[in-house]
Amino acid sequence: MTLKIEKTLVEHGATIKLIGRIRAEDVSELKAQISASVAKVVLELGEVSLVDLDAVKFLGNCESEGIQLLKCTPYIREWIDRERETNRPLVLEAFESDQKNSVGGKAMSNNTHETAPTQFIEAGRVSYAYRQFGKKGTAPLFCLGYFSSNMDAWDPAVTNSLAKEYEVILFDNAGEGASVGETLPQWLV
């Protein structure tokens, strides 16, 4: 699911409701929506399903600038706080470098299977590892491995070829590869 933005004007400002997935390439549109609001802005995040590192940094910056984050899910809240604790500057370096390379109006990630950074998303007590690369704004191909494999089991020749036309997401299931959590019991497999 891509990002859906619903803006509602209220008495003392605007509420911007975000639905779906927030990625680095969505940040410029969000900045424009916030800049177009002359009064106080509130971001409602209750229906946000997935964010990447650049989106987390953007949300952290918004909060630092006094923008309230409503209904922020625990994994996003923890990730924003973790980024603050590491004292990393909240910048969008990956987003800016990705936007320099585009094909057919769709941004191409400069990353490949071998160079895409491993990112993490948390759900409950599981931290899932994934890598995302390829043609942004296209239907993503979510590549699941076979039982007990990890995302590095995929052949880079295959995934890099797919990334020329699609956004590719490689994934480690719970307890496999770089993901943290318990694997499924043998009797469930």
Clarify whether residues 25 and 56 are in a common domain. yes
15 and 31 together in one domain = yes
Asked if residue 183 belongs to a domain, the reply is no
Q: Is residue 189 part of a domain?
A: no
- Residues 6+ positions from 153 with CB-CB distance below 8 Å: 145, 146
Lowest mean pLDDT among 65-69, 99-103, 132-136, 140-144: 99-103
- Residue ranges making up the domain that contains 131: 101-172
Two structure tokens written together for 101: 């390379």
Return the pLDDT at 86.
Answer: 72
Q: Are residues 9 and 83 in the same domain?
A: yes
What SS3 state is found at 31? helix
Give the residue from 77, 145, 151, 155 showing the smallest Cα distance to 119.
151
Write the pLDDT tens digit of every residue in 128-156: 888 999 988 888 898 888 777 888 889 99
75 in any annotated domain: yes
Asked if residue 177 is part of any domain, the answer here is no
Same domain for 43 and 116, yes or no, is no
- Rounded CA-CA distance 116/95 in Å is 13
Q: Considering the domain boundaries, does residue 182 fall inside one?
A: no
Specify the pLDDT at position 96: 39
- Dihedrals phi, psi of 19, to nearest 5 degrees: -130, 130
How many other CB atoms sit within 10 Å of the CB of residue 100? 9
Q: Can you give the CATH number for the domain in which 72 is found?
A: 3.30.750.24
Q: Whole-prediction pTM value?
A: 0.49
**Does residue 180 belong to any structural domain of this protein?**
no
pLDDT of residue 121: 84
- Is residue 186 a part of any domain in this protein? no
The pLDDT of residue 90 is: 43
Q: Quick check: 92 pLDDT over 50?
A: no
| 161 occurs within a structural domain | yes
Same domain, 18 and 84: yes
Task: Give the confidence band of 127 by pLDDT, cuts at 50, 70, 90.
Answer: confident
Return the structure tokens found at 124: 């409950």
User: Distances in Å between the alpha carbon of 78 and those of 4, 22, 58, 129, 169?
Assistant: 23, 16, 14, 16, 23
Same domain, 49 and 125: no
pLDDT 10s digits, 24-57: 889 999 998 888 887 789 999 999 988 888 899 8
